[in-house]
Copies of this chain bind each other. A is one copy, B any other.
Amino acid sequence: MPTSYAILGSGALGAFYGALLHHAGREVHFLLHSDYHHVRAHGLRVETTLGDRSIAKPHVYERASDMPRCDVVLIALKSTQNHLLPELLPHVMRTSGGVALLMQNGLGLEDDVAKIVGPDRVIGGLAFLCSNKVGPGHIVQLQYGHVKLGEWAADHQPRGVTDRLTALAADFRAAGVTVDIEPDLLLARWKKLVWNVPYNGMCVVMNTTTDRLMNTPSTRRLCEELMWEVVAAAASTGRTIEPAFVQHMLEHTDNMVPYLPSMRLDFDAGRPMELQAIYGNPIRTAAASGVKLPRMQMLYDQLTFLDRRPR
C-alpha cells in the first residue's frame, strides 16, 4: 500500500508538496479552508518548475473529522494557526505508526506537536521553496523546493537517521523533490534562522526588499549582526555554526533577485506574522542559557508593535 498523507494547510507549501506526492502515486488528502468549495468544483491547479502537477479530482475535506487517518500528517499551516492542531491532529493521524511532519519555519513548534501526538511521532521538515498561491486552489512554484528532514527528540539531541526518515525521504524523492536527511534537526533549524531572522523582520520594519537592505551599508551590517546573534543562540544549545556559513548566507542574499520574505507578504496582506516561531522561541531558548540577543529582541519588539495593527 502506498503511504497516505494528510495535508493540513493546502496553500503554497502544502498543496505543492501534496500534489507532487499525489503524482508520485501516494494517497494524498487535502484539508482546505477558504478554498474548499472552489477546489472541490475545479480541482487543484499546481504549476511547478518540474511541470504541471494539477489534480482534477483531489481528495479534499473541509473538516479534519471527515478525513481518513493517514501515515504522515504534513503540517503546512501558517504557524500562527498552530493553536488549531490539538483539534485537528487527533482526527487525521494513524493511531499506530503515524507521524507528524512539521514543515514550518522557526524553533520550538515540534515541542507543541509532541504534546498532542506523543514524543516519538514527530519529524521536522524544512522547505526551501519559492511558491505562491496566486488564486483559489491555484499554486505557482517559481524556484527551489528542496527539503531537509530530521527526527525531533524531546531532549533536542540529534537522533541521527531512522528507517522511517529514510522511507519518508524516499517518498519525497520519488515525487521529484531533492531531500537532505538531517541527523541533527535543531542544527538545521538554527541554520535556517540565520537567514530568516534578519531578512523576514527587517523587510517588514524597513518596508523594503532584501536587495535594498544589502545595498545600504548600515542595514547590511545590521543583518550580519543579527546573523551572529543566531549563531550565538545556536551555541547556547550546543550547536556550532561555522563563520563561513554566515558569509555564505550574505553572499547568497547578495545574489538573490530582490525578494519579499514570507513575513513581509503576511504583513502586507494583513495576516498575523510568525513572530513566536522565528523570534520569540529562539530568544527564550537562548535566554534559558543566559544568552542575550539585544538586536533580535529589539526587532521582535518592533514587529510585535506592528503585528498589533488593527486588521
Contacts and interface: CB of A to CB of B under 8 A. Distances in A.
Interface of A: 205-206, 208, 212-213, 216, 218-219, 221-222, 225, 294-295, 298-302, 304-306, 308
A205 B201 CA distance: 13
Contacts of A298: 222, 225, 294-295, 298-299
Contacts of A206: 205, 302, 305-306
A308 B225 CA distance: 21
Contact of A305 (B219, B225, B302, B305): B219
B302 A222 contact: yes
Nearest to A222: B301
B300 A218 contact: yes
Given A205-B205, A218-B305, 7 more contacts: A206-B302, A206-B305, A212-B305, A218-B300, A219-B302, A222-B302, A225-B298
A216 B304 contact: yes
16 contacts: A205-B205, A206-B302, A206-B305, A206-B306, A213-B305, A216-B305, A218-B302, A218-B304, A218-B305, A219-B302, A219-B304, A219-B305, A222-B298, A225-B298, A294-B298, A298-B298
Contacts of A308: 216
A268 B304 CA distance: 23
A1 B222 CA distance: 56
A302 B205 contact: yes
A212 B298 CA distance: 17
Contacts of A218: 300-302, 304-305
